[in-house]
């Protein structure tokens, strides 16, 4: 896993550059999108690149990681609303290119395999963006999720409901989420975590044993993951100095010692 430790401004510029490079190399890329506060500065930076540097998402297909079960379409607090306002309205990503695993309680059994089929039909996810739960969840794969799980309905953990309480649609107790096995099939993944509240989850994800008790640790089994971590979220990392040295050498190999240009 490539671990990039930077202050937030530089961190988001680097993460956005990864997305921009993917889309510039393959304009018809399939992106996996995450929601949550962590992702907002990334989407802001992508919007800036769209306006300032002509980055186009016009041919991108996007699949959201997850959605609450039983929310009204585009309800405030829903992930469709989040992604529409954070990305679709601020770039040229077409509204019809944004897919979410939306489901009612009754419809969830059919919605999950249909979502998997839609991802497969699009050719699979090229770059999966991921935030991190305080309990090291990915999407809504709460601790205990099978490392081979597919898109399905999960009950929200109490700590997740508490962490999301400001935006959680009132009655949401469940979500439909890509599984850890689904996420692992993305060709590349970018994990972003910021703030001291994520330090334990970051350490579990990057350095802990691979275990269903820390779902994000499954990323250790993926060959193409970059973790973007700010300094506060990196405080639990035992091998921090090694990651910083390795990153400096990697940038030298890439001819990128200074500030990035997108």
84 vs 245 by CB, closer to ligand GLP: 84
Determine which residue in the list 41, 139, 179, 215 makes contact with ligand GLP, applying CB under 6 A.
139
Task: Choose one: 28-36, 55-63, 107-115, 180-188; the region binding ligand GLP (CB under 6 A).
Answer: 28-36
Residues 6+ apart with CB under 8 A from 56: 23, 27, 50, 92
Q: Does 140 bind ligand GLP (CB under 6 A)?
A: yes
Q: Does 132 bind ligand GLP (CB under 6 A)?
A: yes
CB of 250 to ligand GLP, least distance (A): 25
Q: Which two tokens stand for residue 123?
A: 């050719």
Which class for 132: exposed (0-12), middle (13-18), buried (19 or more C-beta within 10 A)?
A: buried
56 vs 146 by CB, closer to ligand GLP: 146
Is-contact 64 129, C-beta < 8 A? no
By beta carbon distance, the residue nearest ligand GLP is: 131
Q: Which of 138, 151, 141 is nearest to 108 (CA)?
A: 151
| Binding footprint of ligand GLP, residue count (CB under 6 A) | 14
- Integer CA distances (angstroms), 57 to 17, 50, 245, in order: 14, 8, 34
Q: Which two tokens stand for residue 249?
A: 């050498």
3-state helix, strand, coil in the chain (%, to 5): 40, 15, 40
Binding mask of the shown chain, residues 214 to 253, with x at each position contacting ligand GLP by CB under 6 A: ----------------------------------------
59 vs 168 by CB, closer to ligand GLP: 168
- What is the Cβ-side half-sphere exposure of residue 73, based on CA atoms within 13 angstroms? 2
Coil/strand/helix, residue 251: helix
40 vs 52 by CB, closer to ligand GLP: 40
Determine which residue in the list 22, 29, 160, 226 makes contact with ligand GLP, applying CB under 6 A.
160
Q: Does 142 bind ligand GLP (CB under 6 A)?
A: no
Positions marked active-site:
66, 135, 137, 142
Q: Distance between CA 194 and CA 163 in Å, rounded? A: 14
Task: Choose one: 18-26, 34-42, 204-212, 220-228; the region binding ligand GLP (CB under 6 A).
Answer: 34-42
Query: Can you give the binding site for ligand GLP, defined by CB under 6 A?
Result: 34-38, 65-66, 131-133, 139-140, 160, 164
């Amino acid at each position: 896993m490539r671990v990039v430790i930077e202050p937030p401004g530089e961190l988001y510029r680097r993460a956005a550059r990864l997305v921009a490079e993917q889309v510039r190399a393959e304009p018809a890329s399939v992106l996996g999108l995450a929601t949550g506060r962590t992702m907002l500065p990334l989407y802001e930076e992508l919007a800036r690149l769209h306006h300032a540097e002509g980055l186009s998402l016009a041919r991108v297909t996007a699949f959201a990681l997850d959605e609450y079960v039983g929310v009204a379409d585009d309800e405030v607090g829903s992930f469709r609303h989040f992604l529409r306002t954070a990305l679709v309205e601020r770039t040229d990503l077409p509204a019809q290119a944004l897919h979410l695993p939306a489901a009612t309680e009754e419809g969830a059994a059919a919605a999950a395999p249909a979502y998997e089929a839609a991802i497969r039909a699009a050719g699979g996810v090229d770059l999966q963006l991921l935030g991190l739960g305080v309990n090291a969840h990915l999407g809504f794969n709460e601790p205990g999720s099978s490392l081979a799980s597919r898109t399905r309905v999960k009950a929200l953990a109490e700590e997740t409901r508490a962490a999301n309480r400001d935006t959680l649609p009132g009655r949401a107790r469940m979500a439909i989420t890509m599984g850890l096995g689904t996420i692992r099939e993305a060709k590349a993944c970018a994990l972003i975590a910021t703030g001291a509240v994520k330090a334990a989850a970051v350490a579990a994800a990057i350095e802990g044993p691979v275990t269903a008790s820390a779902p994000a640790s499954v990323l250790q089994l993926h060959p193409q993951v970059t973790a973007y971590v700010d300094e506060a979220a990196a405080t639990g990392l035992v091998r921090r100095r090694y990651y910083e040295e390795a990153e400096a050498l990697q940038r030298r190999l890439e001819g990128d010692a200074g500030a990035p240009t997108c």
